[in-house]
Each structure stands twice: as structure tokens, then as C-alpha cells.
Structure 1
Amino acid sequence: MIKITINRTESGQIKSFIMSGHAGFAGYGNDIVCAGASAVSFGAVNSVIALTGIEPVIEQRDSGFLRCEFPLDIPKEAQEKVQLLLEGMVVSLQTIERDYGEHIKITYK
């Protein structure tokens, strides 16, 4: 199962997320849940970097582990863009979870 933890500040801003595990929906190269979750998360991180110039702290390991931490002490306009992109990521991941909940779980802290 893919486990995703979205960490928010007290004001609701996304400050980091962690993704780990494998969906186990299908064999290697055919797992649409893994492919979808990976495309959504990496796409969001790449969009943050490309569209805002903000570089998150990224930790990536084998076995499907990805941790991204986003700076909060940035100009308001950049922060709004970062948050919008990350909220879009969450909506997309929730859609995958709704349809494939046996293979992906999102928690919020």
C-alpha cells in the first residue's frame, strides 16, 4: 500500500509530505495506482520548482519513499502559488484514493 502523510501548519498550509510504499495493484510496469501517485507527486514538486523558483528539501530512497519539505518563510505571492500547486496535488491524490482506497491511504497531520 502507498501511504501518504500530508503535514500542515496550524494555519492549514502544507509544509511537507511523505510518500512511501508500493500500491500492489498490479505487477511492475503495470501498476496504474503507483504510476498515478508518482506522476501527481513528482509533477507537483516539479511545478513548484519551475513556476515559483522555490526549492523544497527533497529526500528520496528506494522502495517508493519520497519526502518533500517546503519553506514557509518565503514571499506571500510565492507561498500562495506553492500552496495552490500542493493543494492541487492533494485533490489528485484524493481522487486516486477514492477509486483505489485498498492500495493508497492519505493521512493528515
Structure 2
Amino acid sequence: MIRVTVSRSKNQITAFKLTGHADSGPYGYDLVCAGVSAVSIGTVNAVLELCKADLQIEQGAEGGYLHVTIPPSLNPEIMAKVQLLFEGMLVSLKSIELEYSKFIKVELN
């Protein structure tokens, strides 16, 4: 199962962590894994490219682990954009969870 943990402080996302594997299909055909990967990596790439934010990113060498922390020192205008992109990611991940709750769990801290 994929576990998504989203951390908040003062109503803002400060970090998120993905761990585990969906195992909803054979390797290379796992739609839940592909969806979660596309949403999360796509969001991180959008933040890096569009906001030029210097995120702290840790990835597992063999997949199954992604931890991203948003630096609190971003200027307020950039932080607002980063928050919007990460809130969009959260909506997408929750949508996947609604359909595939056997394979993904989204937890908010």
C-alpha cells in the first residue's frame, strides 16, 4: 500500500511523504502507482520550474519513497503559489484514494 502523509503548520502544507508500493497490478502495469507517481512528481517538477522554489527532496534509490519539504523562508508570493500547487496535488491524491482505497491511504497531520 502507498501511504501519503501530508504535514501542515498554520494551515499550510510544510511537507509530504510517500512510502510503499500499491501492488495493484504487475510491475509496469500498476495504474495506482503510475497515477500517484505522475501526480506527485509532476507537482514537484511544476513547483521547481514555475516557482523556482528550492525544495528539500529525498527519494528512495529503488522507488517507494519520496519526502519533500517546503522551506519556510520562501517569500509570501512564492509560498502562495507553492501552496496552491501542493493543494492541487492533495486533491488529486485524494481522488485516487476514493477509487483505490485498497492501494493508497492519504493521511493529514
- TM value normalised by structure 1: 0.97
The size of the alignment, in residue pairs, is 108
Read off the aligned partner of 2:41 and give its amino acid letter: F
Q: Which residue of 2 aligns with 1:89?
A: 89
Q: Which residue of 2 aligns with 1:34?
A: 33
Moved more, 89-98 or 55-64: 55-64
Where does structure 1 differ by over 6 angstroms across 4 or more consecutive aligned residues?
A: none
- Aligned mates of 1:86, 1:66 — CA distance in 2: 14
Gaps of 5+ in 1: none
- Aligned mates of 2:76, 2:70 — CA distance in 1: 14
Identity %: 45
Q: CA 1:63–1:50 in 2, change beyond 3 Å: closer, same or farther?
A: closer
1:40-78 CA-to-partner distances (Å, cap 9, x unmatched) read 000000000000100211000124100000112111110
SS at match of 2:11: coil
Q: Which residue of 2 aligns with 1:57?
A: 56
- Aligned mates of 2:40, 2:30 — CA distance in 1: 16
SS at match of 1:72: coil
SS at match of 2:17: strand
- Aligned mates of 1:96, 1:41 — CA distance in 2: 12
Alignment partner of 1:17 is 2:24:
no
- TM value normalised by structure 2: 0.97
- Aligned mates of 2:87, 2:30 — CA distance in 1: 24
SS at match of 1:106: strand
SS at match of 2:29: coil
RMSD over aligned CA atoms reads 0.7
Q: Which residue of 1 aligns with 2:5?
A: 5
SS at match of 1:102: coil
